[in-house]
Amino acid sequence: MYIESVAWDQPDAVALRARQRAEMAERYGTPDSESGSAPTAADIAVFVVARAADGTAVGCGGLRALDAESGEVKRMYVVPDRRGTGVAAAVLAALEQWAQARGWSRLRLETGPAQPDAVRFYTRSGYRRIPNFGAYEKVPDSLCFERLLPQVSVPAP
């Protein structure tokens, strides 16, 4: 498996996000369960796709800048038959590394009660529950999490 940064409108990225939205619609029983503003090409700082050795797209995730020091994880998704194989951890690690390289000190995210698997994954990955933030502040079913990123030391010249 390998992770690559792609354009927001890259066909595999579009297809994976469509699968993610379809799964969320099924889990929440509504065609649009987006609690905040939907991510777009204009506000996603980076989007990555995980690929199997044969090049098949098996997962994705992106980051939206919240401010100069923090970002929000958006559109994390792994195809069902690859769940539990390390794809999500690899995608999240790639996003965290990207954020650290740009000097971001924290990542935040929002999920919901119909995603207990996501809650377990993020908790296991070092994210802790925080009060709802931003667009999610007044959304009672939002579950928000945050991880403070280790500082990356830059060697002196």
pTM of the model: 0.92
For each of the domains in the chain, give its residue range(s) and CATH number, in order of start: 2-148 (3.40.630.30)
Condensed to tens digits (0 to 9), the pLDDT of residues 88-131 reads: 999 999 999 999 999 999 999 999 999 999 999 999 999 999 99
> What DSSP state is assigned to residue 151?
P
Which helix or strand (DSSP H or E) is residue 38 part of?
none
Which residues of the chain register pLDDT less than 50?
A: none
Residues 76 and 92: their CA atoms lie apart, in Å, by 8
Residues 2 and 12: their CA atoms lie apart, in Å, by 14
